[in-house]
Amino acid sequence: MRGFELVHPGSLAEAIALLDTDDDRVRPFSGGTALMLMMKTGVFRPSRLVHLGRIGAAHAAIAAGPNGGLRIGAMATLTAVEHSADVIRVAPVIAGAMKRLANVRVRNVACVGGNLAHGDPHMDLPPVLAALGGRVAIAGPQGTREVAVEHLFSGYYETVLGRGELITEVELPSQRGWTSAYLKCTTRSADDWPALGVAVSLRRAGGVIAEARLVVSAATEKLTRLAGAEAALVGAAADGTAFARAADAAVAEVELVEDARGSADYKAQLLRVHLKRALAQAVNDGAVS
Amino acid sequence: MTIHRPLPAGQVGRSVPRLEARRKVTGRAEYVHNLVVPGMLHTKVVRSTVPHGRILSIDTAAAEALEGVYRVVTADDIRTVVPDPWYGPAFHDQPVLAIDKVRHVGEPVVAVLAEDPYVAAEAAQLVVVEYEPMEPVFDEIEAMTSTAVVHEVLKPAGTFPDLKHLVGRRDTNVALDYRLRRGDVDAAFAAADRVFEHEFKTQQVMHTPLEPMVSLAEPGDDALTIHTASQSPSFVRIEIARLLGWPENRVRVKVPYLGGGFGAKLYIKLEALVACLALLTRRPVKWSLTMEEQFYTITKHASTFRIASAVKDGHVTGRRCEVFWNGGAYADIGPRVTQKSGFTAPGPYDIDNVAIDSYALYTNRPPAGALRGFGIPQLVWAYESHTDLIARGLGVDPVAFRRRNILREGRPQATGTVLRDAAIEGVLDDIARRMDWDKPFDRGSGTTQRGRGIAVGFKASIAPTTSVAIVNVAADGSANLYLSTVDMGQGSDTAMAQIVAETLALRTEDVKVVHPDTDVTPYDMATLGSRSTFHAGNAVKLAAEHARDQIEALAKSLGLPPGSNYGPADLFKKKYGMQAGNIIGVGTYIPDYKSPAPETGLSDNVTPFWMVGGTGVEIEVDTETGHVRILRMVNACDVGRPLNPKIVETQISGAALMQLGFTMFENMDLDGGQVTNASLADYKIPGMHDVPDEIESLITEAEQHSGPYGAKGVGESATFGVSPAIANAIHDAVGIRLTALPLSPEAVFRALREAEGNTGTDAK
Ligand SMILES: Cc1cc2nc3c(=O)[nH]c(=O)nc-3n(C[C@H](O)[C@H](O)[C@H](O)COP(=O)(O)OP(=O)(O)OC[C@H]3O[C@@H](n4cnc5c(N)ncnc54)[C@H](O)[C@@H]3O)c2cc1C
C-alpha cells in the first residue's frame, strides 16, 4: 500500500461529487473498520478515500417515528445504536444483536452505513434490518432513492449502490405487534464470523401467524429472504409443527455455501435447527407494543 | 490454591507482581518492532507459490526499476557473503533464500530492500519467478513411501551425536527414526486377555504470537549486531558466527521483550537473512513479518499416532506406539521432537513391555517445530484417548483404571529412567477430587447431554542443556542479574529475580534483570521446553550463592564474626573506604544425562526432571448441532515448589486455553500446500468468550529436589491433558469417539448421526 488521497468533504453534495468517478479505487470511508482490513491485506488499494466524518453529525440521528417505526442515520455508530433508548424500545432485537457484533472498539467507530454497504454476507445487521422490513435511503448524483435492505445486495460483497451513491439512512416500518429474534451461529471461536445468521420477524393475529419475514445470512452468498418458509408459517398457529415445516421449507429453498466453517450439508442442519429456535425465541419474547 | 509457604527470606513462594507489568501497560517496554535505526532498510520477501518445484528463472527487473527500491537480492547474492548458506538447529537443510528448488508454498525466494516498507512490499509483487512443478507430498504417512522426495540428501548438523547415523542418507523423507524396545512386546500381546488398537490424528496449527517475528541486523566494523525477537539469543549468535565463519564474539545478539513466543521464535528464523542483507548492503536491515507470513514460517506438527495395548487382568502389559510427525519442508527442531517426545509415547503408565517407533518426516508443507509442549500434546491426545477407550472397553471407571496402571514414584519409565519427583498420581487425585469424580453427575436431558472426562500426561525435559548466570552485587548491596533467558510473557524475569532475592536476602523488586545481550549476558541454551526455571534457575541460584559466599568471605576478611549485622553496603565501604567495588557471582548449570542407546532407545538417566499435567472437564453437547460447551475445566500440574504462585497459575490457565484452541477449532486449512486461512480473520484463536464457564488452576503438592528452591518448569504442563479430556467427556456425554483434532461441531454432529446409523445430515 502506498500513498493515497484522503479528503474530508463538508457536505453530502460535496461527498457525492468527490465519489462520482469511474475510478473504482475511490471509496467512501466511514468508520474504516472494514476498509482498513482490506487495505492491510492489499485487497483494496485506494487512490482516494472520501472521509464522511465531517458530514457525520448531520446523518447520525436515531429517532422513533410517531407510528412505531424507527429512523437510523447511516453515520450512527454501532455503539450509538446499541445504547439508543428508541432502538431498545422499538426494535430490541437490534440492540441484542450488538452484544456479539465485533467488540466495543469496533462498535465505537463502525457505522450503520458501512456495515450495510460493505456487502459482506457475514455481517449481523443486514439480516436483522431486513427481517424488520428496513429500507435504506440512498443519495447520489442523480438524486435520492430507496431500496429495501433485502434487495440491497446483488452478490458476494456486492450491492446495488451505483457510482457516487451513499447510504444516508435506514428506515424501519412500524414494529407494533411484531416479534423478532436473531440467532448467530459460530462453529469455531465464539468471535468468529458466523457460519449462519437467522433473523425472524412475526406478526400474529387471531391466534395464527399473519405475517412473517425470515432471513438467512452468512451461510448463503448474500442474505436471502426465505419466501417458502414464510408461506409455511402464514395462517398457521405459532407452534413447533409449523416451525418444523418452515425449517424444512427453508432448507429446500436456499443454496448454502461450503467453507471452512462447515459443509453445505451441515449448514443445512444448522439452518433447520436455528430457524426453529429463532422462531420459538421470537414467540417467547413477545411482541413489541 | 497456594499450598506452599514462602521461604525464609520471603521471596520464593511470594506472588510478586510482574516486575515489567507497569512498563508493559504504560507502553514503555521495548520491542524490536518499535526499534528504528538511522539508515535502516526494510526488506520484504517474495515467497514461493508452489509446494515443490525447480526454480527456472527469476526476473527482478521490474522490481529493481520501481522508484525507491534499494536492491533486490537472490540466493546468488547471499552466497557472496555466506558460501554455504544452509542453516538449522538439527539439520543444515534450510537455505537463507531458496537455492535451485522450493520445498513449500511461502518459502522465501527473493528479498527486496527499500527504505519504505510499502515500496518493498509493492516491488516484491513485481518479481516474477518461474517454477517447474515437482510432485509434492503433504501427508506424513504418504511421505514414508512416496516417490516425491523433499530433500535429496539428509544433512544433519554435527551438534547432535545421535543424528550422526543419518549423514548422507539419500532419497528418503524420514529425517529421523527413533526406536525404543523394552521387554518382550510380542509375548505380552500373545498372552493378553484383550488387545486394543487405535489411530489418532492431529492437525497443523500455528503459534500465533501476537507480536509477529521481527529481526534487525546492523553491520559494524568487522562485527554485526542483531536485534531480534528470539527465544534463543545464544543459539543465534553461534549459528550466525558459523554461517559467516566468524568468531562468536563478533556477533552480538540483543533481545528485548517478546510479544509471545510459544516456540515460534526459537533457534534461527529471520536472523540469517537480515544478517546477510546487512552485510551485502552495509546498512541496517529490518525484516518484520506480517501475521499472515508467520503461517509459512513455523507451525506445530500434524501427526498420526497408531497405538496398541495388550491388557491382562486389568493391567496394561504391553504397548506398541508408532508415531509419524509431519515436519514440513525443513527439519527445524522436528527430529528432537521425534526423539524427546517419542520416548514418552506410551504415557505415564507402568508398562513392562514397550515398543516405540517415532518418525520425523519431511513433507511439502510449511515447516513445523517446537510449540508449547514439544510434541507431548499430540502424544497425550492419543494415549489418553486410547486409555479411556480401554477403560470403557473393560467396563472400568476411567479414573480407577488409570490409578491401577499409573507410573508411581521409584518405578522405571519406558526408557528405564526411574521416576523421581513426578507427582503423576497426585495430579490425577487432585483433579478427581476437585471434580467430585465419585459423586453422581447431572447428565442433562433432551438435546443437551452432559459428560465429563479426565486425562493426564507427562514430559521429559530436553537434555543435556547448559545455562550460565551472573549476579553482580553493587557497592550499595543492590544486585543485577545477567541472564540470557528471554522473558516472552511467561514471567521469567520476576521468577529469576526472586531466586536472587531469596539467596541474597534482598527484595525481589530491588533485583534488576539485564536482558539478553550476548556481549553482556552469558550463554543459555534457549528459553524453551519449560527448561528455564530449572536450568537457568539453578544457574542463577549458583551465581547468587557464589556472590553470597564472597560477601561472607569479605566479612570474614574484615575481621567480622559470622552473623554480625553488617550489610553488604557496609562491607564495601569498610573495605574500599567509600561506596565502590563489585562482587560478581557466576553460576553454570548442566544436569547429568545419558543418551538413549541407539538400538534400544533405553537410558537410565534420560531427563533431569519430569513435568506432569492433567485436565478434567465437564461439558455439554447440543445433540442437534454438535456444539460442545465447556462448563468447567480443572487443570492440575506438578510444578515442584511454585516460585511465584500467581505466575504459575496464569501459566497453567494460559497453557490450557491455548491447547483448548488447538482442540476445538484451530486448523491451518491447506489446499495444495497453500494455507487458505492465513490471517487472524480466518484462523481463529480462542477469545474471552471461549474461556470455559469455570476454570481452575491447581498446583499439586510437590517438590523437585534437584530444582532451584524445589521448583521446575511449568509453561507447557497444562497443555497435556486438554484435548483427550474433552474427547473423553464427549464420549461420556453422547457415546461417540472422535479420533482427529479439531473437535469441531460438525465432526461431533457427523459422528452422532453415524452412531444413529444415518450418515446423511437430514435427520431431524
Ligand atoms: C475485529 C472485527 C470484528 C468484527 N466482527 C463483526 C461481527 O461480529 N459482526 C458484524 O456484523 N460485523 C463485524 N465486523 C465488521 C464491522 O461491523 C464492519 O467493518 C463495520 O460495520 C463497517 O463499518 P465502517 O463504518 O467501519 O465501514 P468502512 O470500513 O468505513 O466502510 C465499509 C464499506 O462501506 C463503504 N461505505 C461506508 N459508508 C458508506 C455509506 N454511508 N454509503 C455507502 N458506502 C459506504 C465503504 O466505502 C466500504 O466499501 C467486524 C470488524 C472487525 C474489524
C-alpha–C-alpha distance, residues A237 and B404, integer Å: 59
Lookup: cell for B221 = 566494523
pLDDT tens digits along B699-710: 999 999 999 999
Same domain for B96 and B222, yes or no, is yes
- Specify the pairing of strand B251-254 against strand B223-228: parallel
pLDDT confidence of residue B5: 60
Are B738 and B746 a contacting pair, CB within 8 Å?
A: no
Chain B residues within an 8 Å CB radius of A187 = 627, 665, 744-746
The pLDDT of B216-242, averaged and rounded, is 97
Give me the number of domains chain B comprises.
3
Top-confidence residue, B685 or B8: B685
pLDDT confidence of residue A215: 98
- Record: contact A189-B687, CB cut-off 8 A: yes
In SS3 terms, B213-265 reads as: CEEEEEEECCEEEEEECCCCHHHHHHHHHHHHCCCHHHEEEECCCCCCCCCCC
Same domain for A123 and A70, yes or no, is yes
The pLDDT of B654-660, averaged and rounded, is 98
pLDDT category, B163, cuts 50, 70, 90?
A: confident
Q: Taking 70 as the threshold, does the pLDDT of residue B242 lie above it?
A: yes
The parent domain of residue B94 ranges over 34-135+208-291
- Record: contact A260-B122, CB cut-off 8 A: no
Q: Taking 70 as the threshold, does the pLDDT of residue A2 lie above it?
A: no
Note which residues in 433-492 of chain B have CB less than 8 A from chain A: none
Q: Cβ atoms within 10 A of the Cβ of B126, count?
A: 18
Place of cell 507430498: B137
Q: Which residues, 6 or more positions from B668, have their beta carbon under 8 angstroms from its beta carbon?
A: B203, B204, B205, B206, B295, B299, B366, B675, B677, B678, B683
Same domain for B110 and B216, yes or no, is yes
Same domain for A183 and A133, yes or no, is no
Residue B184 CB burial class (10 angstroms; 0-12, 13-18, ≥19): middle
User: In a mutational test of the pocket of ligand 1, which residue from A4, A27, A30, A128 has the highest number of ligand atoms less than 8 Å from its CB?
Assistant: A30
User: Alpha helix (H) ranges present in B559-628?
Assistant: 568-576
B758 touches chain A (CB under 8 A): no
- Record: contact A2-B122, CB cut-off 8 A: yes
Considering B716, B746, B754, B756, which one is annotated as catalytic? B716
Query: Nearest-CA distance from B685 to chain A in Å?
Result: 6
Same domain for A188 and A84, yes or no, is no
Domain presence at residue A111:
yes
Nearest-CB residue to B625 (from A2, A190, A273):
A273
pLDDT confidence of residue B2: 41
The pLDDT of B697-722, averaged and rounded, is 97
C-alpha–C-alpha distance, residues A157 and A180, integer Å: 26
Q: Taking 80 as the threshold, does the pLDDT of residue B159 lie above it?
A: no
Q: Which residues, 6 or more positions from B279, have their beta carbon under 8 angstroms from its beta carbon?
A: B81, B219, B224, B244
Per mean pLDDT, which range of A261-275, B158-172, B221-235, B458-472 is the poorest?
B158-172
C-alpha–C-alpha distance, residues B700 and A34, integer Å: 47
Same domain for A37 and A84, yes or no, is no
Same domain for B564 and B470, yes or no, is yes
Per mean pLDDT, which range of A43-47, A180-184, B717-721 is the poorest?
A43-47
Per mean pLDDT, which range of B48-52, B353-357, B594-598 is the poorest?
B594-598
Domain presence at residue B724:
yes
Same domain for B231 and B359, yes or no, is no
Query: Residue B677: which CATH number?
Result: 3.30.365.10
Nearest-CB residue to A266 (from B664, B677, B749):
B749
Same domain for A151 and A196, yes or no, is no
pLDDT confidence of residue B78: 98
pLDDT confidence of residue B4: 54
Are B308 and B314 a contacting pair, CB within 8 Å?
A: no
pLDDT category, B1, cuts 50, 70, 90?
A: very low
Q: Cβ atoms within 10 A of the Cβ of A281, count?
A: 17
C-alpha–C-alpha distance, residues B183 and B270, integer Å: 45
What's the B442 CA to ligand 1 centre distance in angstroms? 44
Q: What percent of chain B has pLDDT over 70?
A: 98
Same domain for B578 and B499, yes or no, is yes
Same domain for B576 and B603, yes or no, is no
- Grouping H, G, I as helix, E, B as strand and the rest as coil, residue A6 is strand
What's the A112 CA to ligand 1 centre distance in angstroms? 8
pLDDT category, B758, cuts 50, 70, 90?
A: low
Place of cell 518448569: B713
Q: Which amino acid is at B568?
A: P
C-alpha–C-alpha distance, residues B709 and B13, integer Å: 9
Lookup: cell for B400 = 480407577
Q: Which residues, 6 or more positions from A268, have their beta carbon under 8 angstroms from its beta carbon?
A: A251, A256, B761, B762
Same domain for A24 and A124, yes or no, is no
Helix (H) or strand (E) holding A204: strand A196-205
Instruction: Give yes or no: B152 in active site.
Output: no
- The domain boundary residue, chosen from A146, A172, A198: A172
Domain presence at residue B118:
yes
Same domain for A272 and A182, yes or no, is yes
Q: Taking 70 as the threshold, does the pLDDT of residue B76 lie above it?
A: yes
pLDDT confidence of residue A221: 96
The parent domain of residue A30 ranges over 5-54
Nearest CA in chain A to B685: A189
Residues framing ligand 1 (Cβ under 6 A): A 27-35, 37, 74, 101-102, 106, 110-111, 113-115, 117-118, 123-125, 161, 166-167
C-alpha–C-alpha distance, residues B359 and B305, integer Å: 10
The H helix count followed by the E strand count for chain B is: 19, 30
Same domain for B314 and B375, yes or no, is yes
Same domain for A104 and A182, yes or no, is no
Q: Taking 70 as the threshold, does the pLDDT of residue B763 lie above it?
A: no
Q: Which phi and psi angles does A27 have, rounded to 5°?
A: -145, 150
Lookup: cell for B258 = 517478546
Give me the number of domains chain A comprises.
3
C-alpha–C-alpha distance, residues A95 and B421, integer Å: 55
Same domain for B72 and B108, yes or no, is yes
pLDDT tens digits along B440-487: 999 999 999 999 999 999 999 988 999 999 999 999 999 999 999 999
Place of cell 443445512: A268
pLDDT category, B762, cuts 50, 70, 90?
A: very low
Domain presence at residue B655:
yes
pLDDT confidence of residue A10: 95
User: Is the dihedral angle over the CA atoms B221, B226, B227, B233 positive or is it negative?
Assistant: negative
Q: Taking 70 as the threshold, does the pLDDT of residue B764 lie above it?
A: no
pLDDT tens digits along A209-244: 999 999 999 999 999 999 999 999 999 999 999 999
* Residues shown for chain B: 764
- Specify the pairing of strand B628-638 against strand B610-622: antiparallel
Q: Taking 80 as the threshold, does the pLDDT of residue A257 lie above it?
A: yes
Lookup: cell for A103 = 467488540
pLDDT tens digits along B265-307: 999 999 999 999 999 999 999 999 999 999 999 999 999 999 9
Domain presence at residue A289:
no
Domain presence at residue B162:
no
pLDDT confidence of residue A40: 85
Same domain for A61 and A48, yes or no, is no
C-alpha–C-alpha distance, residues A52 and A37, integer Å: 18
Angle at A196 between CA A192 and CA A198, to 5 degrees: 125
Same domain for A11 and A85, yes or no, is no
Domain presence at residue B189:
no
